[in-house]
Amino acid sequence: MRKYSWNSFKDLVFRNPAVATQDPHVDDGDENTERGNWASKREYILSTIGYAVGLGNIWRFPYLAYKNGGGAFLIPYFVMLVVTGIPLFFLESAFGQFCSQGPINIWRAVPLLQGVGIAMVLVTLIVSIYYNVIIAYSLYYMFASFQSPLPWSSCLSWADSNCSSTPRGTVFNSSSDDLLLSLVSCNVSGVLVANWTQENITCPETDVITDPVQSPSEQYWDRVVLQRSSGLDETGPVVWHLALCLLLSSILVAAALIRGIKSSGKVVYLTATVPYVLILILLIRGTTLEGAMNGIEFYIGSQSNFTKLTDQQVWKDAATQTFFSLSLCTGGITTLASYNNFHNNMVPDSIVVPFINHGSSIFAGFAIFSILGHMSLINDKPVEHLVKEGFGLAFIAYPDALAKLPVAPLWSVLFFSMIFMVGLDSQFTMIEVLITNLCDAFPESLRSKRAYVNIGTCVVVFLLGLPCVTRVK
């Protein structure tokens, strides 16, 4: 009886015009000689962890946990992991590993649904553009951190009159999570007297004037890093220091992917592991600070609110964060798995990686909230008025807290190095998705020129990112 190989079956299903005739164990010892395979399973696991553990684990999960009941949020978070995260992770891995194709070509078996794969790649393209910009932000802050004192530790020449690191009066709006403070002044006989210190003056309530105050870190972000314009109608020129960081980010990604997974698989030994070491260092430093436990209590401590479990929004946030942090349905998992050996056991991979991803979110939250607890103490402000998400946490609140620590430049360099490497890992896979789909679509003309496809893709992503580093608000 004639025996059909796996390559023969793929040729039948995917109508591959090129039939493999050579021994599958040649060149680099790859089973799939056309596309290549991971040098080791370790590289695949590290690459997948690096892709899954992204910026959302660092700056989004801690805020969601605080917002949705603290420790109580872990229940729906892990329920959604088991119910939706792990099954979908396994499904996407199975698609990629079985077909040894990218997210578009796997749908050749069902051409009617090929648009699903195209949509995945388009989403990845869009995300890779702004992810590259975020990496550029972290690079700029990392370079700026090699100064003592840190440039955002006080109001310097770039600040305006609303900048203050020690405001005289403080007004909190309990319904707002804003970091904004207010300078309190009194209009005496029609003359504005600001920063007055006389304790025996009584100011009528109708004459009290509050001016919004911004911290040095907030003004540094707006006025130095972004150089914000007045609005969308005023685009302004490219901010060149960000454009150069964007270029450096693109060069680093292109260099890491110059030989595809063969080269990126070696880089992730550094970029996927060092962030955990840096988070651990920041956590140890944070827990030694006075007031750190106040922040951790707000995170997942005794103030956890289990009544939140009856709120459907909490479960929605848990599901959203699970999809967001695992990068489901964007083609990355399928692409990485497509370079596995055909008989690789995916079951443990599809359990270990999602659990490591969720554990990383919790781990990072402790490092974030321990520092915020200390900041709450020294600023005499409730922790809830410091908790931000996204850019507000990574580039305003946390840098502001780090600037107040002894040897501040060291902790700032460690923090932004961690942000940089976490973002870089995810960017590796997103660019790999784009390259893989191009090479799979035109194997005869592009697969042998993969290095040029890699460079061209990174150039396009860089150019598309330039409008994001203009001064437009």
Torsion sign (Cα): 436, 439, 443, 449: negative
Residue 50 assigned as binding residue: yes
CB 325 within 8 A of CB 62: no
| 52 annotated binding-site participant | yes
Annotated binding residue 40: no
Say if residue 325 carries a ligand binding annotation. yes
417 labeled binding residue: no
- Is residue 425 a known part of a binding site? yes
Query: Binding site membership: which residues?
Result: 50, 52-53, 57, 325, 357, 425-426
Annotated binding site for Na(+): 50, 52-53, 57, 325, 357, 425-426
